[in-house]
Amino acid sequence: MTDLLHTLPNFPTKLYTHLFPSLEKNLITTTDLLTLEPLEVARRAQLPLLDVKRLTKHVLASLQSQLGLANAQETLRQYEDPSEIQQPPSLRQSGSAIAEKWNAISTLDPTLDAALSGGIPTGYVTEVTGESGAGKTQFLLSLLITTQLAPIHGGLSRPTVYISTEHPLPTPRLTQILRTHPTFASLPSDQKPSLSQIFSIQTPDLESQDHILTYQIPVLVARQNIGLIIIDSIAANYRAERSSTSTSGAALGLRSLQLVRLGHQLRSLAREHDSAVVVSNQVADRFAPMSPPPPHQRQLLGSSPPHASSPSSSSPPRIGNNGNSPGMMMQSLDAAIMPPPPSTPSNPQPQPQKPPSSIYPHLTLDHQQNFFTGWSSGPPSFSSSHQSQNPNPNIHLDLKTPALGLVWTNQIACRIALIKEHASASPATNAEGGEAGEGEPRLWRRYMKVVFAAWGPSTGVMERGTEFEIWGGGLRAAAKH
């Protein structure tokens, strides 16, 4: 029953300490407790039937109360002290009630806030993805400070927590932002954000990350009234673990379950404490889709045309296998490189069947991922042979894909892609992200693109997004020349 605290962290386990050892020994999970008959559970665990029924009803009532179902509070009073029962939010809420609870963290830039439909809202899990140097950490550091501002200035008046998986909290950069940005510099000393209101935690591996997010972060958020939880980055520990473990189907299935559980934990923190959860994510290179080889050249990939097979052997000859004679190897090369003989009545050639991807190109992953990754390769007819000309400047030739795949994409409410591209010489920011001097050439141009969001419209698939720059005070929209 160790999974009970994962499902119901506040469940009063002290009332059933005499039952848990037997349930744990017989591998009875919370799902078994709710789906199996109490008599079956009592028989397997060798426990009194009345005690099992009482535990089952208590767990069910706690789940219903957590979801805000009616009459759940009355059932809980039969098992717990009424003064210790927490009042959950109701499932029935009007649109005006939701609008009144809307709280968002500003970027302190009107253009960027407009692109984000008001900023980073509480109650959601938001992802900021991009390649190295795109400005992910700079974006997160600005949010760490802005959250401490009063709501009238775009903050929440609440402290923040920074969970690092790669490098410690860059306090010198935070000090520079506080000193440089005019919003912070103009505030009285008692209203200015402070580094003491930022809690920093490091998770060097996946095991420590899971323990901290499961046990320590919920307590810290509840006691300190944390308004913003940042994880930088979410994929680092998973990538390190995957490089040292098997990539079999069982290992990938376990990884998917871990990501689903992580998403549930973060969403629960955001919803129950009305906090904003923002994570950064890494990206991987994505190759443009390639057209399949002609049918007479597919033998190199393992499929042989019918004319190449002989009655004595039903399997095609393989190139490079031990035991193949030179004549067989030359025959395989000729069959793969030379076109097939012309079709005759005595030797008809079958017509090659079109792959499903050529019949329904819009249903392929190469096309669908244009809508949830942030990097578009163009319409399905825009093949790799045409990309060298790049007729549309909004099509990104340097394609990227956020890490952790589609399973993680389904766990977040918003994805913000920060895209970095080479630029011509113009006064802006330098490559290190600092404030460029006068006349110093801009080496990179950066764009912020809302891939999808639960609270506002997204940037068009074929649009670049809002151009921004990194300066001493954080992030700001780039001036239009």
Residue 333's pLDDT is 42
pLDDT in tens, the chain (481 residues): 667 877 777 788 888 888 888 998 988 888 888 899 999 999 999 999 999 998 998 888 888 877 766 566 666 666 666 555 555 555 556 566 666 678 999 999 999 999 999 999 999 999 999 999 899 999 999 999 999 999 999 999 999 999 999 889 999 999 999 999 999 988 888 889 999 999 999 998 888 999 999 999 999 999 999 999 999 989 888 877 765 555 667 778 888 888 999 999 999 999 989 999 999 999 988 776 555 545 544 444 444 444 444 444 444 444 444 444 444 444 444 444 455 555 555 656 566 666 555 666 777 777 788 788 888 765 444 333 334 444 455 554 578 889 988 899 999 999 999 998 887 544 444 434 444 444 445 678 899 999 999 999 998 877 888 999 999 999 999 887 5
Kindly report the pTM of this predicted structure.
Answer: 0.69
Residue 432's pLDDT is 43
Yes or no: say if 235 and 411 are a contact pair by the CB < 8 Å rule.
no
Yes or no: say if 392 and 381 are a contact pair by the CB < 8 Å rule.
no
Residue 61's pLDDT is 83
Please tell me the distance from the alpha carbon of residue 68 to that of residue 71, in angstroms, as a whole number: 9
